[in-house]
Structure 1
Amino acid sequence: MIRDEKMMDQLLATIRDFVDNELKPFEHEVDETDAIPDHIVQKMRDMGLFGLTIPEQYGGLGITMEEEVLVAFELGQTSAAFRSLIGTNNGIGSSGILIDGTEEQKQKYLPRYANGEIIGSFCLTEPDSGSDAASLKTSAVKEGDYYILNGTKRFITNAPRAQTFTVMARTNPDIKGSGGISAFLVEAGTSGLSLGKIDKKMGQKGSYTCDVIFEDCRIHQDQLIGGVEGVGFKTAMKVLDKGRLHIAAYSAGMAERMLNDALNYAIERKQFGQPIANFQLIQGMLADSKAEIYAAKCMVIDAARRRDLGENISTEASCAKMFATEMCGRVADRCLQIHGGAGYISEYAIERFYRDVRLFRLYEGTTQIQQIIIARDMIRTATDGVLK
């Protein structure tokens, strides 16, 4: 839901201006240097972008899910690294505490996430546990008032920058599935916590990932999110439902940017004495892309509104994430094709975006995992109906 149309329009206009005038000019530099300039990071703090989704009582803007996806459409108009920097504080890095944390945990951490003082990250994936998240091996053994963590987490976004890590670990080894998993908040600098080397990725330069390693890492029981064991996997799934909608929205925004660039190129580029935009095969690629972006945005907004109304949108979130990220990949391919040979040259943004968007179909649950979630929800619903 949109709480105040006028205020929302002002927020979107401010972000749009920031993207156009302060982020887009640095896209190529970020890709070349693999770093976001410090003055941009500070500007993001000053604008409150690290706390967009954090409730106002904890120092954030408290935007709703529908408002968040509209913001994501705007942030999608520029390089993925910029969104990734603020993304964990507004999503997976803070959502565990926001959704299931104790009031003491919220008071301690959420205001610091909101003002960008600290950056959070989310540690679920492991070397042998990705899509099958319930089989994770990281352990948390209770010793008095403390837990001892051991294990390795992989591909953790913003880990090299993070001051806190939301960690999923197995507290009950006798329960092999998700029921034995608990969620913890571990602070950087804790003895026994270390980081691997920063991953060298295909794309999304300026956005950092690395391994997070726990070797007899000793944390107080107060760092158990919500103070309850055995519900960590449920917390993670609630966090991912929200995150999947955000990624779907961002994918639609980035597809829109790529399409606008391709359209402008097609109008300016001449072959056979006329703009290539006049050729029907080019028009077909433009039209297909426009229609798919429109469909993705409609899906995302509908699911976001349903979430704001308190509905369980697990299926809808997976549908939106699956469709929007796959769509984004198709649009990237068409837009590079429209650019022809120029699209393979780094002088044009499509070369970078083509590499960047490939990741969307992998993280927050691969396309194939989304298909399984959707189908299982369908079967469960149909079976429940028969049994009734």
Structure 2
Amino acid sequence: MTDYLSTGNLPDDYAELAKTVRDFAQNVVAPVAAKHDEEHSFPYEVVAGMANMGLFGLPFPEEYGGMGGDYFALCLALEELGKVDQSVAITLEAGVSLGAMPVYRFGTEEQKQAWLPQLTSGQALGAFGLTEAGGGSDAGATKTTARLDDGHWVINGSKQFITNSGTDITKLVTVTAVTGGTPDKPEISAILVPVPTDGFIAEPAYNKVGWNASDTHPLSFDDVRVPEENLLGERGRGYANFLRILDEGRIAIAALSVGAAQGCVDESVKYAKERSAFGRPIGKYQAIEFKLARMEARAQAARTAYYDAAALMLAGKPFKKEAAVAKMVASEAAMDNARDATQIHGGYGFMNEYAVARHYRDSKILEIGEGTTEVQLMIIAREMGV
């Protein structure tokens, strides 16, 4: 993959996928993005379209209903969707890398057969229940508990900011919970919770600054009972396994962020050619030219970073540092480009019907979700041996 760190040099299969998703994003997603954002409504019709295209199954083997592709293919799809609607892009990202991937990576064969065909088809969504009110960046400070009772796990606790957890097609939430150990060294395991299950509640959705068409809820667990065999992976390895999932997910978030950054470039170039001031298009003024050039440079640099991280991951090489670099660089590029794009658009950039206004509201969470910028800096420093 390092031989084609430019979108112009993608192999035919990747290039065709990117074009197909780009056409879908422009013709299906973009026309309804403002409506769903304004109404805070989940885009079921768009999700159904992505399911029909096989996007939820991109990185999974055909034996589990997948498309037989790889994680880089997923990233290309996320980049194209992120250009026009981050809510739709994060729905796909969370459904694949956070919903289905833990089952694929750590599940038993029985669990894979039971869950992956539903999740890879996009007919059902899975969610990733990690974050809690007192444990965001400190995910190891889990307070949710699970104890064994007569062959069942009994789960009590709560989770916060969980994507895809309360839709009509949500069928699974994977939860991290303390299953033993000591207060100083808790044993954290991952457990599959089917939806619906008695005692599990997706509380009312959040009123968010952005990602308004993305489904996000706090969750509560009140004596939720699931079979003992719903343990995902080894007992006590839940936290460590989910850290691996987050490493992969950071590449995906980087790809989404690159899409957002590039979307801001594309909208701004178009606007700079159309909008005139003092007798000529504003793109002819050096102040705007330089701003656009910096925006393009950020997007290209961030794209190279996530391509590099994905190449290492697919080659089976260590990629933790590169994933953190990509996530940090790309999320900052998205936020910086959204700010510049809004400035270029002037008053129109402050109007929600304009895509750059949505990017301005949406992009901030990219610097927070799946590891804040500060967490990425810690990871990078540690991987450097500091």
TM bracket, shorter-chain basis? over 0.9
Q: What are the within-5 Å matches in structure 2 for residues 47-196 of structure 1? A: 47-161=53-167, 162-174=170-182, 176-177=184-185, 180-196=187-203
One-letter amino acid of the structure 1 residue matched with residue 135 of structure 2: S
Tell me which residue corresponds to 1:332.
Answer: 338
166-175 or 254-263, larger mean C-alpha shift? 166-175
Deviations 1:363-385 (A, max 9, x none): 101111111111122226xxxxx
- How far, CA to CA, are the matches of 1:171 and 1:190 in structure 2? 20
Per mean C-alpha deviation after superposition, the further-off stretch among 86-95 and 151-160 is 86-95
Q: Distance in 2 between matches of 1:346 and 1:369?
A: 31
Residue number among 343, 357, 365 corresponding to 2:363 in the alignment: 357
Structure 1 alignment gaps of length 5 or more: 381-388
Residue of structure 1 in register with 2:213 after alignment: 206
Which residue in the other structure is 1:224 paired with?
231
Question: Does the residue aligned with 1:128 lie in a helix, a strand or coil?
Answer: coil
Q: State yes or no: 1:241 paired with 2:247.
A: yes
Distance (Å, rounded) in 1 between the aligned partners of 2:179 and 2:318: 27
Give the SS at the match of 1:163.
strand
Q: 2:327 aligns with which of 321, 327, 330?
A: 321
Distance 1:95 1:247, change over 3 A: same
Q: Secondary structure at the match of 1:372?
A: helix
Tell me the distance in 1 between the aligned counterparts of 2:62 and 2:177: 31
Contact 2:174 2:190 (8 Å CA) reproduced: yes
The residue that corresponds to 1:264 in the other structure is 270
Contact 1:51–1:89, Cα closer than 8 Å, also in 2: no
- The one-letter code matched in structure 2 to 1:220 is P
| Partner Cα separation in structure 2 for residue 18 and residue 278 of structure 1 | 32
Q: CA deviation at 1:269?
A: 1.1
Identity %: 37
Give the superposition deviation at 1:118: 1.3
Distance in 1 of aligned mates of 2:382 and 2:263: 34
Task: Please give the per-residue CA displacement for 1:108-152, whole angstroms capped at 9, x wherever unaligned.
Answer: 100110112211000000011111001111111122311111110
**1:90 Cα deviation from its structure 2 partner:** 1.2
For 2:21, which of 15, 26, 35 is the aligned residue? 15
Q: Secondary structure at the match of 2:191?
A: strand
Equivalence for 1:348: 354
Between 309-318 and 32-41, the greater mean CA deviation after superposition: 32-41
In 2, are the aligned partners of 1:135 and 1:176 still within 8 Å (CA)?
Answer: no
Q: Which residue of 2 aligns with 1:385?
A: none
- Aligned mates of 1:329, 1:341 — CA distance in 2: 18
Q: Whole-Å Cα distance in 2 between the matches of residues 41 and 296 of structure 1?
A: 27
Q: CA deviation at 1:270?
A: 1.0
Letter in 1 for 2:180: N
Alpha-carbon distance between aligned partners in 2 of 1:260 and 1:378, rounded to the nearest angstrom: 36
Structure 1 residue aligned with 2:385: 379
The Cα shift of 1:267 comes to: 1.2
RMSD: 1.6
Gaps spanning 5+ residues in structure 2: where? Answer: 5-9
Report the alpha carbon displacement of residue 67 of structure 1 after superposing the two structures with TM: 2.3
Q: Distance in 1 between matches of 2:27 and 2:87?
A: 16
Partner of 2:50: 44
Specify the code of the residue in structure 2 equivalent to 1:164.
L
One-letter amino acid of the structure 2 residue matched with residue 183 of structure 1: A
Alignment of 1:369 onto 2:369:
no
Return the TM-score normalized by structure 2: 0.94
Q: 1:16 to 1:342 in 2, by over 3 A?
A: same
Aligned to 1:24: 30
Q: Residue 209 of structure 2: SS of its match in structure 1?
A: coil
Change (3 A) 1:154 1:242: same
